Structure 1
Amino acid sequence: MSKSKRLLDLMMTVNRKRKFTVRELADEFGVSTRTILRDLQELGELGVPLYSEVGPHGGYQVLNERILPPIAFTEEEAVAIFFASHALRHYEYLPFKEASVSALHKFYHYMPGDVRDRIDEMKNRIDFVTPARQAEFPFLSVLLEAAIDQKVLLIGYESRGERSLRPVQPVGIYASNGLWYCPAYCFLRGSIRVFRCDRIDAVKEQASGYEPLDLRRVHLGNRHEYAAEPQAGVQPDGTEAQKSRTKVRLYAELTAAGMQACEAELWAAPLLHSREGGSGWLEGEVPAQDLRFFARFFTGLGNEATVQEPPELVSELKAMLEEMLRKYS
């Protein structure tokens, strides 16, 4: 085996093992321990973060910042990956902002000159526009890690002009129209709720008195199936929790333009139905406490939507429109 191939295989092996001894590697590659030691020194000079421990239980360990083995991309794949990462530049806040910038720089720097020239030409001809926001999202990484590790957080959250402390277990985070959102199981409400991340002003990584739930099967793609289901063994707090679980039937007719507007809303996806010709309707159960939100939304659609149910929402719409008329009369 050539030295270059052995170094490449060794890099992939140490990334896979994470912890190992020189003797283990020497036996696996059929070389002397002295050769393995020289190879490990070369890997360290190449940037593989190795850490050595002495003693009877010592050995080598790869630190968390592992160097991944080389991957061969076609030119089209390389360009696609570059622009997938390049599109994130519009987001001032990302859970991996510095890593994303660093990876993009490395990716661009080591491309052949003609591929870089092609990318430079494409930069001014393709973009993924995201609305600029003044909001700040300082806790994205903490929320994402909590979702992955199944942790309960105590967050400070402002909603409807009131601030409260909420013990929550995040399901994940997602971006929409320049804002970040975090679906999470709220122990006070007894169900999965969606929190706007810019309204989270504090996070404590240990919420005493609350045990994590098993939400491993719940993710961003299927969270709507669990949104109204209180978890066994969890006792939500009183009247507010009961209100958050009260559902009303929503039905609204939509023109083709109304359909397009609703297709841009993540919450509408499970309620949206289409007809031939482009029109459609919204139908399904929604939380009763969110009727004012829906009233504002349908007011923005104007004549592109006609709400038929629930009557409480129709009344809310009338009151909102009358208030607007008084303002401009």
Structure 2
Amino acid sequence: MSQTTSRLLQLLGLLQSRRVWSGEELSDRLGVTTRSVRRDVERLRELGYPVHASTGHGGGYQLGAGAALPPLLLDSDEAVAMAVCLRLAAGGSVAGVGEAALRALTKLDQVMPSRLRSQVAAVLDTTVTLTPESDSPVDPEVLMTLARACRDREHVDADYVDRAGSPSSRRLEPYQLVTTGRRWYLLAFDRDRDDWRSLRLDRMAQVRAKGTTFTARPAPDAAEYVRRAITTSPYRYVTRVRYHAAKDVMAQHFSPASVTIEDDGPDTCVVVTGADDPRTLALYLAMPGVAFEVLESDAVADRALAMSALLADAVKR
């Protein structure tokens, strides 16, 4: 592969990863002059890639949607098939596939003509996917709208129902999507509450991109924030438990969406989790069948002690 061809592919990847790039930013990333960037952009246009240029504040180079898919990617039938498969995969439960499918779908969606989008929608509207009852399906359009808004730093309005069933309207700055394999979450800054929030996508409706952009704030780590929010924050009782087994051993017993596991030496680890009922929590912690001690939460410790006495009585001869 020639140096010019390699640079063109790198330029195309950059244009697909973000909404707008200035000429100076592209020249820095590619290690060439802005004049070379202009020449490379012209080469992409000659190949059929719709690269738009704008001047003024917020201007730069942007990869847009054309009348047809650019060459060297996919033909129309392949694009429809790929988009349908990616949307189904993005809502699936195979570890790691959902996020990768969503990234690929976001890139494909960016250059897909509207006539092909309507074909994809027609296929999805007439398709039923059998999923376990415990799964929380997400509207594909909600997923795509939020993915584009995260990429483009675009304001979003949405209706939301919290875990207690209370409805609310949210004005959001969306930052990142997080999947646990069974559910999708959005890390966003809530403009009315002036604070960060993690929101379940299956509880969101009427998601609307506003067309206005925001300046990125210093954001918390999305995965860690969502992990804390779903393992402890919503619950009345939160406990810390030391298991007499290594972290990787206990990770096989618990879902990352249910607990946080901390290193505590080669043969022990600390698990943090929560529930609304201490008896349910004590039973959950005992299910792996590994010796443990309750470090925090007297309510959970009392329930565990009562359960141990009950079980001991059940096996007395």
> So what's the TM-score if we normalise by structure 1?
0.45
Q: Which protein is bigger by CA-based radius of gyration?
A: 1
